[in-house]
Structure 1
C-alpha cells in the first residue's frame, strides 16, 4: 500500500499533467513547431518569474543556452554534426534524470 500524496505532491502532479496535455495539444495543432512554441512560452514565463523573484541570472543563462544551440546548428549546417550530437545526447541524459513529466 502506498501513502497518499501530500498537497505539494498533488500540485506537482497536476502541473505535470497540465504540461503533458498542453504539449500534446500543441503538437496536434501545429506539429513539432507547436511543441517548440509551447516550450518557448513556458520558458519565457519561467524566466520572468525568476527575474521577479530576484534571480536575474536566468536571462544570461537562457542567452548562453540559445548561443550554444545556435552554434551547434551552425556547425551542423557546415557539415560538422559532432557538437549537435553531443548537445542532443547531453540534453537527453539530463531530461531522463530530472524531468518528472515523462
Structure 2
C-alpha cells in the first residue's frame, strides 16, 4: 500500500514540475525569462517594458512624420531600421 502512495505522490510532483518547466520554456521562447529571472525587481520590469516598446514607438514616429507618397514606399517594412534604410535609399535615388 505504501508503494502505491509514493508512486502517486511522485506522479503529482512530476505533473507540477512539468507545468513549471512548460511555462519556463514558453517564457524563454518569448524572451521573457532571462529579462525577468527568478525574482525581478521593479526597475528590471520597467526596463523590460521600455525595451519592448522601443521599436513600435520608433516605427510610429517615422510613419506619422512622412507624407503619404513617401509612406507608401515603406509601408511593407516591419522594423524601424528597415524603414530608415529604405528611406535613405529612396532619398539617395532622388538626389542622384
TM-score normalised by L of structure 1: 0.29
Q: Which has the higher contact order (CA 8 A, sep 6+)?
A: 1
TM-score normalised by L of structure 2: 0.30
**Which protein shows a greater Rg?**
2
